[in-house]
Copies of this chain bind each other. A is one copy, B any other.
Amino acid sequence: MNQSYRLSSVEIATYAKVMSDPTRLLIIKLVSKKEYCVCQFVEMFEMSQPSISQHLKKLKSFGLVEETRRGQWRFYSLNTASDAIGIVHAIINHISDQDERYIELINKERPVDCG
């Protein structure tokens, strides 16, 4: 592992907490592959829009995701320039590819303009 990816124990604890919510953890796993807009998350997670927005706000405030506005939508993607990119990948790499919840989410995914 690249030494530059190592952080203080307080930072690691902080990032671990940010990723310790199952919704946020799966959002991170999803955006590590491609970008998603808020309405897609709302459909996939079957959660309220404010709840999703608040999770995204937390992920953004800790620098884990980036937001880009396009038309009426805001797209979120992994911030690969984050100091935490090392620990983020380390954690999501430990999620099984057969994770039931993740597979369910992917199956519910719809193109943006369908929402």
Contacts and interface: CB of A to CB of B under 8 A. Distances in A.
Contacts of A7: 94-96
Interface in A8-30: 8-10, 12-14, 16-17, 19-22, 25-26, 29
Interface stretch (A35-43, A47-55, A62-70, A98-106): A98-106
Interface size class of A (residues with CB under 8 A): 20 to 34
A16 B20 contact: yes
19 contacts: A1-B93, A6-B95, A7-B94, A7-B96, A8-B95, A8-B100, A9-B22, A9-B29, A12-B25, A12-B91, A12-B94, A12-B95, A16-B17, A17-B17, A86-B94, A87-B91, A90-B90, A90-B91, A91-B91
Given A7-B94, A14-B20, A17-B17, 4 more contacts: A7-B95, A9-B25, A9-B101, A16-B25
